[in-house]
């Protein structure tokens, strides 16, 4: 059994913590706007489907008046199909409206942290699906969004995703579906430590001259990072590290010689077998969940 540790150097302090709230609010507003656009599209689909029903019904009525059995059969089928289209469009609108309501609430919740007396160190923004938070003692936390404190656990269900914003280095974590992530340490005078128990995450963070370190652990290795965009997946068979930008140094959790993994390379780490050399992979096949920006100098 190993432990994966991701080490990053970044600036701490209240200014960085306040920046967490600003970035979380901006992102929550963006996904809310995306949901609003989905609602508009769904409404257009409902209107178009209802117009199809009206047209098919008129054609059906004309065919009945003319006593044209063949035309009646075709028109009747068209009415049935158009009615099904209306039902599908209304269901889509219902889902889009529910998503907009959820994302609007999340965006409103994030605004609270802009003026909070205690700036948050890490803020969780649920994006879609079932995203749950649990306290250190395992008790479920009612609100899915909000500050993620040491000892708290995030779980994303099937089809669910979430985004975590962390103070220092513009650190940002995208959590995929069926993922479990725990903040193990986070305070202004300490480093940030997290544990990826299961699933897939992608993180980016930029190194600045001095400041706190970031550590993210999984059950297979220790990954030290300086200003990069990378992903970690962990499952029963082992862990995989993929680097999209920058370079990481991967070492066994129990200690040992580091393996450098550069941009465009991945390393699979099995707890039951020697580690192979890093292999090239198609980094462009996995779209980035954020806009690319230059690292600060």
Residue 213 scores a pLDDT above 80: no
Q: What is the pLDDT of residue 297?
A: 40
Work out the percent of the chain whose per-residue pLDDT is above 70.
86
Q: What is the pLDDT of residue 9?
A: 31
7/185: higher pLDDT: 185
253 falls in which pLDDT band (50, 70, 90)? confident
The residues, ordered by sequence, that sit 6+ positions from 169 with a Cβ below 8 Å of its Cβ are 8, 9, 10, 11, 205, 206, 207, 208, 211, 214, 227
Q: What is the pLDDT of residue 5?
A: 42
Residue 74 scores a pLDDT above 80: yes
292 falls in which pLDDT band (50, 70, 90)? low
Q: What is the pLDDT of residue 18?
A: 60
In tens, the pLDDT along 135-193 reads: 999 999 988 899 999 999 999 999 999 999 988 667 889 999 999 999 988 876 667 78
In tens, the pLDDT along 12-70 reads: 344 555 688 999 999 999 999 999 999 999 999 999 999 999 999 999 999 999 999 99
Residue 104 scores a pLDDT above 90: yes
Average pLDDT, the chain: 85
CA dist list (Å): 59 to 116, 201, 271 = 62, 54, 68
Q: Among the listed ranges 113-127, 198-212, 272-286, which one has the minimum average pLDDT value?
A: 198-212
Average pLDDT over residues 237-241: 88
143/200: higher pLDDT: 200
Give the DSSP letter string of the chain: -----EEEEE--SHHHHHHHHHHHHHHHHHHHHHHHHHHHHHHHHHHHHHHHHHHHHHHHHHHHHHT-HHHHHHHHHHHHHHHHHHHHHHHHHHHHHHHHHHHHHHHHHHHHGGG-SS--SEEEEEEES-EEEE-TTSPEES-SSEE--TT-EEEE-TT-EEEEEETTTTEEEEE-SS-EEEEEE--TTS-EEEEEEEEEEEEEE---SS-EEEEEE-SS-EEEESSEEEEEEEETTEEEEEEEESEEEEE-TT----EEEETTEEEEE-TTSPPPPPEE--GGGS--SS---PPP-
């Amino acid at each position: 059994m190993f432990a994966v540790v991701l080490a990053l150097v970044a600036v701490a302090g209240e200014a960085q913590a306040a920046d967490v709230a600003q970035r979380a609010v901006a992102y929550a507003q963006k996904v809310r706007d995306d949901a609003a656009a989905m609602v508009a599209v769904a409404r257009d689909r409902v209107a178009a489907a209802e117009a199809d029903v009206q047209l098919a019904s008129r054609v059906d009525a004309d065919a009945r008046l003319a006593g044209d059995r063949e035309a009646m059969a075709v028109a009747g089928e068209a009415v049935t199909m158009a009615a099904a289209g209306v039902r599908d469009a209304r269901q889509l609108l219902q889902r889009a409206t529910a998503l907009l309501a959820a994302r609007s609430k999340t965006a409103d919740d994030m605004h609270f942290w802009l003026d909070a007396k205690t700036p948050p160190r890490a803020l969780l923004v649920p994006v879609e699906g079932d995203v749950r938070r649990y306290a250190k003692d395992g008790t479920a936390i009612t609100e899915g969004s909000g500050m993620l404190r040491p000892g708290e656990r995030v779980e994303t269900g099937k089809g669910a995703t979430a985004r975590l914003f962390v103070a220092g280095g513009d650190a940002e974590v995208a959590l995929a579906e069926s993922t479990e992530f725990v903040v193990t340490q986070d305070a202004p005078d300490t480093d940030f430590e997290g544990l990826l128990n299961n699933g897939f995450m992608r993180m980016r963070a930029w190194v600045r001259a001095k400041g706190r370190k970031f550590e993210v652990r999984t059950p297979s290795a220790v990954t030290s990072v300086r200003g990069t965009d990378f992903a970690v997946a962990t499952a029963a068979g082992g862990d995989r590290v993929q680097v999209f930008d920058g370079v990481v140094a991967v070492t066994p959790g129990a200690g040992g010689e580091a393996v450098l993994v550069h941009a465009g390379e991945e390393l699979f780490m099995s707890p039951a077998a020697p580690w192979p050399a890093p292999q090239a992979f198609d980094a462009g096949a996995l779209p980035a969940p954020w806009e690319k920006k230059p690292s600060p100098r």
